[in-house]
Amino acid sequence: MAVWAISDLHLSFANPKRREHYAARWQDHAESIKNHWIDSIGPHDLVLIPGDISMAFNHRDLQPDLDWLGRLPGIKILAPGNHDRWWGRLKNVQTVLRRSQRAVDGIAIVEAGAVICGARSLDVIDLDQANPLQRQQYERIANAVHSMLAEASSLRAPGMPLYVLWHHPPFDQYGRPGPWVSFFEKAQVTACVYGHLHAELQWSFAVQGLVRGVRYACVSADAIGFRPLRIDRPTHDSKQPTQVRS
């Protein structure tokens, strides 16, 4: 079993949106992702998808995107991004998922010997310059991170990896950490995967690799050539069975 990650799929099968208008590399991007995915990922692998999964605005238009994703191999763990306007309350999201799909939004789960958690994120900003609404949003996210990491700690057995799905970069363009980074470090997170970035200059400044014990990876689909990136190959044999939806 291996752990893979890819973000920013930007699927839109119900109402196709031609993303090559943004950059030529997006031409037929869903087909490219599918081909690379099938070449690399096995049926028991974990695939972490930290946001911007579908451009749908509602669950009706979302269905073809979830169907497409459901036919691909692997257990997919989804977390919300800023373009996932269809994503509402977690319990409502969970009701529409396919058999091989899970959702995390302020919670932690155990799958295939790993603990995975995620929450809605924001760009890193200077809180000294933040307005009241931004401060309120930051406080809400900080509470969600604290809650999900506490749950992750309660689920985590010795040796189990802990993965965080976080859509926005956890650091700003100058490499300065957001307030959640200290939470990740304290919880001894194994790896944090994020996306959101779609410009080559942004990719060059993105914090990646090992930072104070936590591995970070930018997995925006176009940043990694529309090919899922292998994050890990855990060796821990969890005693907790994988929960599969009926």
pTM, rounded to two decimals: 0.92
Q: Where are the beta strands (DSSP E) in the chain?
A: 3-5, 46-50, 75-79, 101-103, 107-111, 114-119, 162-166, 191-194, 209-211, 214-218, 229-232
Task: Report the pLDDT value the prediction gives residue 60, as an integer from 0 to 100.
Answer: 97
Q: What is the mean pLDDT of residues 69-98?
A: 97
Q: What is the pLDDT of residues 214-229, one digit of tens each?
A: 999 999 999 999 999 9
* Distance from C-alpha of 7 to C-alpha of 27, rounded to nearest angstrom: 17
pLDDT tens by residue, 124-156: 988 888 899 989 999 999 999 999 999 999 999
**Counting Cβ atoms within 10 Å, is residue 215 exposed (0-12), middle (13-18) or buried (19+)?**
middle
pLDDT given for residue 20 in this prediction: 73
Q: Which CATH number fits domain 3-232: 3.10.180.10, 3.65.10.10, 2.40.160.10, 3.60.21.10?
A: 3.60.21.10
pLDDT above 90 coverage of the chain, percent? 83
85-91's contacts with Cβ under 8 Å and 24+ in sequence apart are 85/56, 85/57, 86/54, 86/56, 86/57, 86/58, 86/59, 86/61, 86/62
